[in-house]
Amino acid sequence: MRPDVVTFWHGPLDRLRQTCLRSQVAAGHKVTVYSFDPLPGLPDGVGNAEAEAMLPHAFSEKLRPPEPDGSWRGWTILQFSDFFRMRLMAERTGLWLDADVLLLKPIEIDPDKPYFAWERPRQLGNSVLYLPPDDPIVRAFEGLMKQEELTPEWLALRHRIVFALRRLRGVSQRLSDIRISLYGPPALTALARRAGELQYALPKQSFYAVHAEPKLFFEPRDVSKLLGNPDVIGLHISPKGRGGEAPIPGSLYAWAAERFG
């Protein structure tokens, strides 16, 4: 089946994300962005849904206190989205794609099986994610979200030691402060391994061909080989602050901007 695409966004949408969302619509998917506030600049064909009903804004305070003006700080947005995508899975809303995933072709899934890909040799990515609502990974996150301290029972020993030392030194009393990706790809990988689901992982080339090297997307180069690779379904960009830049002629970004507007 061709699933609906869902994601979460907090703050203004930059030029890159608008291009990526257009590519997801162009691939034939129904696309919905969840947010706490209205999102100006959403491309035509992209819906906007209220995030509060899926995961309350107040949940962010389990990660870290907000700034005096109420805005989120540090890693809050990224870590909140790690939990938000699991809530979307539990509610069977569709396939999660990060807003910076440029889709080159439609995605087809089996709704009874996980859908994800290797981001690195020993780590799954969670930028492209589908899990059945009764999947063990979803159930594990559902249990974790009921905690106040958000301490995963699958937490690696090295992270337990780091956290214990930070508490002893008075550096931090919050586990969420020890690593930005604590609830993201490492957690997904550990839980998929425990559930015997690594067999479902697609090759890295399927979505993460340029993920670790943004210059492959933003800077001029011959892109024909990448675009002609049948194993490449989409590209998670990971712009590293370059999402608002104008496309440089001859770059993969320029090709995408011309194709998707």
* Tens digit of each residue's pLDDT, the chain (261 residues): 999 999 999 999 999 999 999 999 999 999 999 999 999 999 999 999 999 999 999 999 999 999 998 899 889 999 999 999 999 999 999 999 999 999 999 999 999 999 999 999 999 999 999 999 999 999 999 999 999 989 999 988 888 888 888 888 887 778 898 888 999 999 999 999 999 999 999 999 999 999 989 999 999 999 898 999 999 999 999 998 899 999 999 999 999 999 998
Q: Do the Cβ atoms of 33 and 7 come closer than 8 Å?
A: yes
DSSP string of 30-75, one letter each residue: -EEEEESS--TTPPTTEEEEESTTTS-GGGGGGT-PPPTTS---TT
Look at residue 168 in the predicted model and tell me its pLDDT. Answer: 86
Closest CA to 236 of 112, 136, 97, 143: 97
The residues spanned by each domain of the chain are: 5-260
**Residue for token pair 């291009």:** 19
Look at residue 212 in the predicted model and tell me its pLDDT. Answer: 87
Full-model pTM: 0.95
Residue 180 pairs in a beta bridge with none
CA distances from 207 to 11, 90, 198, 235 (A): 25, 23, 16, 5
With a CB cutoff of 8 Å and minimum separation 6, the contacts of 214 are: 237, 238, 239, 240, 242
What SS3 state is found at 253?
helix
Using CA atoms, how far apart are residues 38 and 154, in angstroms rounded to an integer?
36
Look at residue 162 in the predicted model and tell me its pLDDT. Answer: 87
Look at residue 173 in the predicted model and tell me its pLDDT. Answer: 79
Look at residue 240 in the predicted model and tell me its pLDDT. Answer: 87
Element (H, E) at 194: helix 185-194
